[in-house]
């Protein structure tokens, strides 16, 4: 099923969505260039090393896992735009502090790690609120197009952001780039705060623990949600360990170095943008089938490496994986918004996100032993087969096969 051009751009006719879209673009512009600035900032500090950078990145990730469920409860209890604005403000202050420390040449690794943890904590509140806020902002009939537009904007920024970040770090230094990230968070926070707050149900009378328990019960009662979350918990660590960790190793050993692997990653980025464009026009009726089918091509880059593929073939496979990934994520976001009541959506998102994220470190830890045991190509071939099988396995459940894009009621 497809939609006309007017339907594609219909969300931009909603003033509150336009401002929301601009705020998200501002925030993404800083987030896309900040990681490379942080990496070089840490490496250039006294005591800076790969291990130190790993510690800083881990400090940014850990609070997200610990606080994500609390963030989901908060976004269901209080106005989501307010939660988003506060989270952006906290991130802005943390990044501004990091920039100041770098400007004054007083920064230390532990300070940047602590500030990364603050940003990670803010992200734990931002993610579930932002994933559900569209249900408060736009009518249901334009929500799929709104999700696709947001995904397209995010992926376009992802394509150019890292390269722009590298150039800016070389030209003006890490401190100025991190300062821009702080400013982008601040501007986004101001825009989010200026949006009219839609009517929000009164906070539940129960305590946070009760809300967490209700969220868990609501999550596990939806077999289709548990199935897709479990699928992601198994596939995502294999994909990230294979593509992001072992892939560069293959690029170094076989393809000739970082330049060739850069071409491959560019193919993936182009695929993300292309897939987002497809999602603007395509509205699959059988959403569950579409989500699972679009997960299969994610195995392609790993399969090509296992077959001793070269740069051209691997770039095409990466582009296909990126496009399919963008379609799958956009459709899945729409399914959640359609099927989960708005008052409980943030908690559902937080449980699903936590379930799919908590296994990622295990994938990174298992990658090297698997490569030693099976060989690089063997490990990636096994990973590709694993992803392809797990991608379609949820379709064994009638609840997943029965998910449709147009619903008249919430289950």
For residue 305, give both structure tokens. Answer: 């490496």
Name the band, by pLDDT with cuts 50, 70 and 90, for residue 408: very low
- The label of the residue with tokens 């299969």 reads 296
Looking at mean pLDDT, say which of 71-80, 119-128, 262-271 comes out highest: 119-128
Across 370-390, average pLDDT: 94
Helix-then-strand count for the chain, H and E:
19, 0
**What pTM does this model have?**
0.82
Q: How far apart are CA 16 and CA 392, in angstroms?
A: 38
Q: Under DSSP, is residue 2 helix (H, G, I), strand (E, B) or coil?
A: strand
Radius of gyration of the chain (CA): 21
pLDDT tens-digit readout, 353-368: 999 989 988 888 888 8
Q: How far apart are CA 56 and CA 94, in angstroms?
A: 14
Strand partners, 168: none
Residue 101 CB partners (closer than 8 Å, separation 6+): 107, 108, 111, 112
Q: How far apart are CA 369 and CA 363, in angstroms?
A: 11
- Domains, the chain, with CATH or none: 5-140+160-203 (1.20.1250.20), 215-401 (1.20.1250.20)
Q: How far apart are CA 367 and CA 341, in angstroms?
A: 39
Cα 164–chain centre separation = 20
pLDDT at 125: 96
Tell me the Ramachandran region of residue 406: left when phi exceeds 0, alpha when psi lies from -120 to 50, beta otherwise.
beta
pLDDT at 280: 84
Looking at mean pLDDT, say which of 274-278, 339-343, 366-370 comes out highest: 274-278
Name the band, by pLDDT with cuts 50, 70 and 90, for residue 303: very high
């Amino acid at each position: 099923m497809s939609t006309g051009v007017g339907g594609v751009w219909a969300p931009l006719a909603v003033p509150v969505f336009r401002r929301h879209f601009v705020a998200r673009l501002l925030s993404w512009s800083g987030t896309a260039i900040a990681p490379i600035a942080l990496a070089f900032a840490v490496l250039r500090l006294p005591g800076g090393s790969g291990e130190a950078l790993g510690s800083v990145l881990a400090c940014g990730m850990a609070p997200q896992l610990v606080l994500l469920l609390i963030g989901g409860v908060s976004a269901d209890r209080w106005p989501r735009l307010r939660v988003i604005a506060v989270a952006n403000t906290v991130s802005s202050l943390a990044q501004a502090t990091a920039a100041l420390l770098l400007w004054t040449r007083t920064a230390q690794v532990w300070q940047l790690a602590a500030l990364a943890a603050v940003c990670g904590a803010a992200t734990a509140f931002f993610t579930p609120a932002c994933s559900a806020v569209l249900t408060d902002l736009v009518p249901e009939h334009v929500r799929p197009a709104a999700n696709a537009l947001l995904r397209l904007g995010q992926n376009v920024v992802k394509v150019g952001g890292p390269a722009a970040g590298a150039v800016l770090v070389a030209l003006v230094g890490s401190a100025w780039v991190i300062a821009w990230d702080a400013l982008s968070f601040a501007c986004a926070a101001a825009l989010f705060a200026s949006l009219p707050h839609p009517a929000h149900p009164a906070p539940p009378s129960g305590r946070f623990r009760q809300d967490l328990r209700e969220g868990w019960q609501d999550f596990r009662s939806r077999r289709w949600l548990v199935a897709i979350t479990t699928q992601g918990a198994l596939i995502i660590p294999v994909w990230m360990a294979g593509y992001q960790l072992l892939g560069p190793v293959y690029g170094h050993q076989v393809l000739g170095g970082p330049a060739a692997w850069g071409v491959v990653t560019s193919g993936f980025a182009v695929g993300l943008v292309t897939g987002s464009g497809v999602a603007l026009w395509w509205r699959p009726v059988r959403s569950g089938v579409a989500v699972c089918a679009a997960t299969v091509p994610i195995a392609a880059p790993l399969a090509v490496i296992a077959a001793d593929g070269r740069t051209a073939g691997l770039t095409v496979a990466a582009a296909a994986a990126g496009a399919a990934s963008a379609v799958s994520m956009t459709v899945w976001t729409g399914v959640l918004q359609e099927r989960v009541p708005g008052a409980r959506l943030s908690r559902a998102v937080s449980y699903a996100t936590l379930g799919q994220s908590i296994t990622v470190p295990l994938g990174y830890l298992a990658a090297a032993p698997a490569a030693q045991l099976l060989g690089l190509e063997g490990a990636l071939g096994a990973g590709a087969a694993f992803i392809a099988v797990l991608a379609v396995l949820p379709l064994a459940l009638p609840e997943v096969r029965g998910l449709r894009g147009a619903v008249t009621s919430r289950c």
